[in-house]
Amino acid sequence: MIRCGTTVFFFPIVEILSATSIALIAWYGGGEVLRSEVTFGVLVAFIQYINMLFRPIRELADKFNTLQMGMVSSERIFKLMDEGQKQDNRGKIVAQKIKGDIVFENVWFAYKENEWVLKNISFKIESGKMIALVGVTGSGKTTIISLLNRFYEIQKGRILIDGIDINDYELYSLRSQIAVVLQDVFLFLTLYTITLLYMIQV
């Protein structure tokens, strides 16, 4: 919270100082121009100097914001590593050639107790079919994919792949049969063929 507050106030302070400096120069310099103490060109030059002075400060503020985001991300990563939780690999069935029939039967799931993300969700996807899960942010689209890979355990109901409960599959073999394509797109600074070859290997 302290870091967030620092970030919130840092940017406005820089902008306020910059605007105040320009206003003071315009006020004082304007008077000097009217009294013919300085030329109008000198006044304009000083305003440009102020902008040049605050430009690196604004860049520093931007880098500071990036640093804050990195620190928040690192905290989350270290917290996840400290948890040390692993999914139970109690399944015995080795998934070799999955057809892709997926069934959600009365699935309930919550990241926190009694704060349900999915409530009694049921649907069926036949092998070879393509569907789209559409909804607002936080409606559970990514959660459904995560549950299919057993990144989390459901509280109620069951999930079937080819008529077999996913808990009965050997975990690593199950995940080896499922490809998750993230929405972030990466293009390497090289030939397009290298990027395509990387995608094929993944």
The 10s digit of each residue's pLDDT in 54-101 is 888 878 877 877 888 888 888 888 887 776 666 677 878 888 888 888
Residue with the bigger pLDDT between 173 and 188: it is 173
Q: Number of C-alpha atoms within 13 angstroms, CB side, residue 96? A: 3
pLDDT at residue 106 in the model:
93
Asked if residue 2 has pLDDT above 50, the reply is no
pTM: 0.53
**For residue 161, is pLDDT > 80?**
yes
Report the SS3 class of residue 150: coil
DSSP readout, 67-112? Answer: HHHHHHHHHHHHHHHHH---------B--SS----EEEEEEEEEEE
| Side-chain-facing half-sphere of 37: CA atoms under 13 Å | 8
Residue 152 pLDDT exceeds 70: yes
Give the single-character DSSP code of 170.
Answer: -
- The length of the chain in residues reads 202
Edge-to-edge strand ranges of the sheet holding 156-161 = 115-125, 102-112, 156-161, 164-165
pLDDT (average), residues 5-32: 79
Cα gap 147→107, rounded to integer Å: 10
- The predicted pLDDT at position 108 comes to 93
pLDDT recorded at residue 192: 64
First-to-last alpha carbon distance for the chain, in angstroms, is 39
- What is the reported pLDDT for 177? 86
HSE at residue 52, side-chain half, CA atoms within 13 A, is 6
